[in-house]
Structure 1
Amino acid sequence: MSPLVKIRSERDRMSAVERRIADFILENAQLLRDYSSQQLANALGISQSSVVKFTQKLGFRGYPDLKYSVGEAIGRTEDAEGEDAPHAERPGDDALGATLWQRKARAEEATRLINDPATLRELVAALDAAGKVFLIGLGEDELHARGFAARLSLLGIVAIRHVDIGRMAAQVAMSSPGDLLIVFSEHGKHAALLKVARYFREHRGRVVTVTRHTSNPLRALSDISLAVAAHDDASYVQSLIYQSTVQQLLDTVFVHLCEGDEARHARLVENLDRIHQMLEP
């Protein structure tokens, strides 16, 4: 994994001092080769030991190892950009749109790396085995709950979604052992969602959470956790990146479900054909 991708993916779980170091490295990666660990510490107004501990926490032997790895990553990026240079400045290119696309791509790469294949396989197996799948999200998170519920239904999986917390609590009372509750909550701290999740577990159901890659109460309560790395300095961009990264993660799970079961895939095709016929004039 690229050290810059690793730093970006772990940033939301870092302490305040660690985030300062991480942000400096991400923003000044090309200058890092000119900084010793002491110079970096002086620039940030922290101790040298904090810099050393930061590098070791990321899995590097020490600061020189991190600096060398960052330099290699920058070199590979520059080589790749050099190969694409003849096509980089095409008439009509939207520089702002291209930059946003790159920021989304970085977040999606980091998210893919922190959600190991075993976790995705476990979730797919749980969806396979579940009698019913309950889904809930509030605000913008509800959009993902609604969209994923619709896709599960197309595959023949019973998907129950409610926006209202009270109605979802009533529906949860109908759950059985082995059922799934998927909770979408960016920050994982909503008290009502925590209550619903605890109630669901009392019925011996399994809780799946989709939250930021942070330590949060909802994620701690889950049986299966999908984490999203979507940091950006601009708050208006960070929200966009989070939403698109969640969608990419859900799309990956959906593809696993389709490709892992021929009968389910055939059911999807039948349902799509039926819907198309119903909508024809």
Structure 2
Amino acid sequence: MPPLVKIRSERDQMSAIERRIADFILDNAHLLRDYSSQQLASALGISQSSVVKFAQKCGFKGYPDLKYSIGAAVARNGGGDEEQQPASVEDDDALHVIETLRRAKLESEEETGLLNPTPVLEHIAATLATAERIFVCGLGEDGLVAREFALKLSLLGLLTVQHADPVLMMANLATVGPRDVLLLFSEHGELPQLSQISRLFQDDGGRVVSVTRHTANPLRAHADASLAVSAHHAMPHIEQMLYRASVQYLLDVVFALLCHAYPERRGQLDINLERMHHMIHS
């Protein structure tokens, strides 16, 4: 597993000091080559031994081994100081742009896959398949993804209610039962209104599944289950593309697992697709 992916995936299980080290490394991976273990410890206000123990806990012989591995990974991904700058107009031809985006999407989806083990994906698929009702909520761009996935769940014959307005979602809370599931989409997981809905939904006995970035956030921390998305790039517009692609990849996996593990749902999907095809082409 790539070193940065390993650190991201294990962050939530780390101690407070270890999380401080992890966050610094994840936010400043391209600068780590300039830090000795003592300099990193001084920057974070911790002991040098804490830095060394962190490296060893992550599976490295010591801090130099950790620093070298991360430096090599950053170099491979074009993440050095100079490498992170956008290419010049002369170098930025169409083929280069296409190939760079293709590789970045593949790497992002691979990292996202590593962050979501198969048992977790199977559990979420089972949670959705056995739900009495599935409420789906997301705002802004997250709402567009939420709406599309809600439609796909409906085609499986699952009772799905999609909301793009948290106030209207609140109106449904009075009827929530223990077999209801709330699927919340929020890239950064920090919107207070969604966190409030999540807590109230759980208080009423429902279960919450979050879809957010892999970073620590309130929504992911308090969800009953979560899908974690990895998407990183020096250029913001590319990073946003990677996030959307990785979310879609995760949702496609969950949907495919639903079709595979529940033949009756797949049968209902086939019936609904045939009806739609007949309506469009009649």
TM norm structure 1 = 0.79
Count the aligned residue pairs.
256
Which residue of structure 2 aligns with residue 3 of structure 1? 3
Which residue of structure 1 aligns with residue 58 of structure 2? 58
Cα distance in 2, alignment partners of residues 10 and 235 from structure 1: 25
Shift of the alpha carbon at 1:117? 1.4
Cα distance in 1, alignment partners of residues 280 and 126 from structure 2: 33
Shift of the alpha carbon at 1:144? 1.4
Label 1:194 to 1:67 Cα distance change in 2 as closer, same or farther (>3 A): closer
Cα distance in 2, alignment partners of residues 190 and 61 from structure 1: 40
1:126-275 equivalent positions in 2, closer than 5 A: 126-275=127-276
Measured on the aligned residues, the alpha-carbon RMSD in Å equals 3.2
Conserved? CA contact 1:135–1:181, under 8 Å: yes
Label 1:206 to 1:42 Cα distance change in 2 as closer, same or farther (>3 A): closer
Conserved? CA contact 1:5–1:106, under 8 Å: no
1:169 is aligned with what amino acid? M
2:30 is aligned with what amino acid? D
**2:25 equivalent among 18, 31, 51:** 18
Cα distance in 2, alignment partners of residues 104 and 8 from structure 1: 18
2:140 is aligned with what amino acid? G
Cα distance in 1, alignment partners of residues 177 and 234 from structure 2: 43
Task: Flag structure 1 segments of 5+ consecutive residues without an equivalent.
Answer: 26-31, 78-91
Deviations 1:89-121 (A, max 9, x none): xxx972111101111211111111111112111
1:119 is aligned with what amino acid? V
Task: Flag structure 2 segments of 5+ consecutive residues without an equivalent.
Answer: 13-18, 78-92
Cα distance in 2, alignment partners of residues 93 and 190 from structure 1: 38
Label 1:164 to 1:42 Cα distance change in 2 as closer, same or farther (>3 A): closer
Conserved? CA contact 1:8–1:110, under 8 Å: no
Deviates further, 65-74 or 185-194? 65-74
Which residue of structure 2 aligns with residue 278 of structure 1? 279
Conserved? CA contact 2:207–2:224, under 8 Å: yes
Shift of the alpha carbon at 1:54? 5.0
1:23 is aligned with what amino acid? H
Deviates further, 189-198 or 229-238? 229-238
1:56 is aligned with what amino acid? Q
2:63 is aligned with what amino acid? Y
Shift of the alpha carbon at 1:63? 3.3
TM norm structure 2 = 0.78
2:242 is aligned with what amino acid? I
Shift of the alpha carbon at 1:230? 1.0
Conserved? CA contact 1:21–1:51, under 8 Å: no
1:2 is aligned with what amino acid? P
1:196 is aligned with what amino acid? I
Conserved? CA contact 2:8–2:214, under 8 Å: no
Between the two proteins, what is the percent identity of the paired residues? 46
